Every structure is written in C-alpha cells, then in structure tokens.
Amino acid sequence: MKIDIQGSRLRRAVGAAVTTGAVIASGALYAAPAQAATAPSVVAKGGYVMNNATGKSLYTKAADTRRSTGSTTKIMTAKVVLAQKNLNLDAKVTIQMAYSDYIVKNNASSARLIVGDKVTVRQLLYGLMLPSGCDAAYALADKFGTGSTRAARVKSFIGKMNAEATKMGLKNTHFDSFDGIGKGSNYSTPRDLTKIASSAMKSSTFRSIVKTKKYTAKTVTKTGSTRTMAPWTNTNTLLSSYSGTIGVKTGSGPEAKYCLVFAATRNGKTVIGTVLASSSATQRETDAKKLLGYGFGKI
C-alpha cells in the first residue's frame, strides 16, 4: 500500500514538473505579471474607468461613494434634452432675464447669453457643455420642462433627470438642480456618472458637441439682426493634451472640488471614466490621464 502511495506521489510530482516545464517553455509564467500593471495612485477621492464597449470595470476607487458632482451634472441635462420626442435642434429659445439674474446671484459659470436673443437648442447645448453655461442649462430646463410657471417647468425638468437615473438603475444618483449648483441633494458616484456619460455618448449630437474644442454661435437679436457670439472654449483640456480624447465634461465647486468625466478612443477601443473630488483643475487632468493609460493597458 505504501509503495502505491509513493508511486502515486511520484507520478504527480513528475506530472507537475512536466506541466511547469511546459509553462516555462511557453512563456506563460511571464505573461501574467506583464498584464497585471499596478493600478495608478490618483489624488481624486473617487474614480472609475470602464471599457465603453462592454461595460467591464477596469479601475475603481470609492466608485460607489456618493459625492457632489458639480457641472458634470450637465451630462444628464444634455441627455434628457436629446431624448425628447420629435426634438428640433433648430428650435429657438428666447433668453430671459431670469437666466442672467441666476448667473449673477450664484456667481456661476456662463455662456454669456444676451437677454432677448433667440438661441437655438443646438447652440444652447454647445453653451451648456463647452463653457459649462449655467444660463444655457436654465434655458434648456425652462424649455423642456412642463408647467405654467418657470419654477414648475424647472422642477419638471429635474424630475425628468431623476426619472432617467432611475430608469438606468442608478441607485446612488440624485439631482436637485439642472446644472450642479445643488441644494444639498445633488449627488452621484464615479461609476454612475461614467454610465450616464456612456449612455449619452450613444447620441451622435452629444458626441459631436463634447469633442468640440471651440464653437461660435450666431444668435438672433431682439431687432432681428445676427449677433456673432464670442467663441465658447471647451473647459475639457484633455481634448488638447491627450491624444484620442473624445469628451466628456468638467465639473467643480466648493463641495465637489474638481471633477472630470473623460473618454478617449485608441486603436478602435474606447475607455470612459470619472474622477471626483480631485484637488485642482490640473490635478484632475493628471488623474484622468493616469486612468486612461491604465485602462488602455487592460483592454
């Protein structure tokens, strides 16, 4: 019996040695460490990256922790607008004094829209996503909400934003504003924001807007003449500093700190992700570049 056991052990040992030899010969032992690149360290308190084609997670850091999102909220604003039935991007919206007053009161980022000008929905979307215009966000919420008063229409529009988040199954996202200037319950997570952005990027109009570095709108004045606006510059500096960048949106605020939802395509593969609560505009870009590089290394 002992001989049989020893023989069995010997056969297993020989088998293991042969197998190990085959693995060494094939180079498979060295393949795993090469693939397992060390996950980068980022300053942002939250981060998430995924393969845009498959939805597979590539990186997580407090990916499901709720945080203030600043103007990355506007991704959902644009998504809701673009989902409207029979949407006419060339429909004109008259800029109201309320939008201008709102900007002044909140010291908010602005598309510098002129009261009384008629601006198309398409132009408002550019004004929303490039210079991060809270005036453009207000105009869109007023236009696409329902109700007999401006307050009712805005509330309705924010309701549509939350309904969309619920429909997408995002349990850690809630909006109480159309632009990210929250009232205490405007939050999301790196994972949820990345999913919102990935969904929004299915719209060709959205994709065209968020990859645009500069846009000049020609609006119609009260007298019917044409006003050429000062060019809007995209606040997403990755478009110029990281090859293959195709979007998406910056955000910042006293509570949100510095946020960035980003996407890039290389060799036909798209990586999309989010960093929340980084320490500066420069640092959020550095964090995003690290995560993009790491993401591309994993797909």
Encode pLDDT of 29-77 as tens digits: 444 444 457 999 999 999 999 999 999 999 999 999 999 999 999 999 9
| Residues in CB range of 90: below 8 A, 6 or more apart | 120, 121, 122
pLDDT digits (tens, 9 = 90+) for 83-123: 999 999 999 999 999 999 999 999 999 999 999 999 999 99
Answer yes or no: 45 catalytic: no
Residue 249 assigned as binding residue: yes
How many CB atoms are located within 10 Å of the residue 252 CB? 21
Which secondary-structure segment (H or E) carries 272? Answer: strand 269-278
The active-site residue out of 132, 177, 188, 252 is 132
From CA 174, how far away is CA 132, in angstroms rounded? Answer: 20
pLDDT digits (tens, 9 = 90+) for 148-180: 999 999 999 999 999 999 999 999 999 999 999
Residue 78 burial (10 A CB sphere; 0-12, 13-18, 19+): buried
The active-site residue out of 68, 71, 177, 188 is 71
Q: What is the dihedral of CA 169, 174, 176, 179, to 10 degrees?
A: -80
Answer yes or no: 280 catalytic: no
Which secondary-structure segment (H or E) carries 245? Answer: strand 245-253
> Which domains are present in the chain?
44-295 (3.40.710.10)
Which secondary-structure segment (H or E) carries 158? Answer: helix 150-167
Answer yes or no: 74 catalytic: yes
Cβ proximity of 46 and 190 under 8 Å: yes
The active-site residue out of 74, 160, 195, 290 is 74
Question: Is the pLDDT confidence value at 4 over 90?
Answer: no
Among residues 55, 52, 39, 30, the alpha carbon closest in space to that of 297 is found at 39
